[in-house]
Amino acid sequence: GDPLEGPPSFLNLDCVDPLMPATSDEEMKDEVIKRIKKFNMTMVAFGDAEVLRSWVNAAPPGRIIPGIGISDATSMTVEAFRDSLSNGFYKVMAEVAPQYQGISPSDPALDPYFAVAEELNIPVGIHMGTGGNGMANLSQPKYRASLGNPFLLEDLLARHPKMKIWVMHAGYPMLEEMIALMGANAYVYLDISGFIWSYPLDEIHYYIKRLVQAGFGKRIMYGTDFMMWPRLFETSMGVIEHAQYLSEDQKRDILFNNAVRFFRMDESQFDWPE
């Protein structure tokens, strides 16, 4: 593109089988709830509190895990954050995305919020890596690619050794740094949301295969970041289901077992009929 011209459209329909976005909030909710039931699925979700409660109430009990995120120290006081987590509705601290604000996840200003999550034993999901092509000059001027480096989590992890953390979007494209961080920190997990559909399939498979080859197949969790496209569930699940380099056990780990372990879920709760 040309910076003197208008930005390209976020929606690209010039493909063989384009995924169409939901046409309304209600359609989006209905389509996602339908897939939760069809695929016997549990999802972490976050966003507007009123909308989130509506989705939680519409889904089968326990199938939506509500999250609350913090990206800087100005959006919510530490006291309000503690109250939000203490009331029992929110189960995870996510999405934490200081990268979009030009802030490192180890910035001391965020430390009191992480301390609350550590104290209350709340899992934390932190955006690390890409935010989409052209992010810095199309929609998020404070975004810095360098602030997605997984190594920036090291000081945070050292200060909060009991905090349970997963790296969202697999830290892509910083593969070697992600492998090194997971090697040095035995309790760091990652998810493959967003990344799993944002790039060419060969690149996606290369990245996941390397993580598995490095010995971290038990700490990779499936995710979508489906945004406005309900069919992304089927599409992104297919990436794992059809990965020839993964055994059936490894596929089940990524799609199910690892998340059950990380989020301390009861495996028996998934044995329910349609």
Delineate the domains of the chain, giving CATH numbers in brackets: 25-265 (3.20.20.140)
Residue 165 main-chain phi, psi, to 5 deg:
-130, 140
**245 phi/psi in degrees, rounded to 5:** -85, -5
* pLDDT single digits (tens) 55-75: 999 999 999 999 999 999 998
pLDDT the model gives residue 67: 97
Kindly report the pTM of this predicted structure.
Answer: 0.94
Q: Is there a contact between 172 and 179 (Cβ–Cβ < 8 Å)?
A: no
Q: Which residues of the chain have pLDDT under 70?
A: 1, 7-13, 271-274
Asked if 93 contacts 125 with a C-beta cutoff of 8 angstroms, the reply is yes
The whole-number pLDDT of residue 8 equals: 66
Give Cβ neighbours of residue 219 (< 8 Å, ≥ 6 apart). 182, 188, 189, 190, 258
Q: Where are the alpha helices (DSSP H) in the chain?
A: 25-38, 49-58, 78-86, 111-120, 135-138, 154-159, 175-184, 195-198, 201-213, 232-241, 248-252, 258-262
For the beta carbon of residue 117, count every other beta carbon within 10 angstroms: 25
With beta carbons less than 8 A apart as the criterion, state whether 134 and 106 touch. no
Report pLDDT digits (tens) over 138-187.
788 999 999 999 999 999 999 999 999 999 999 999 999 999 999 999 99
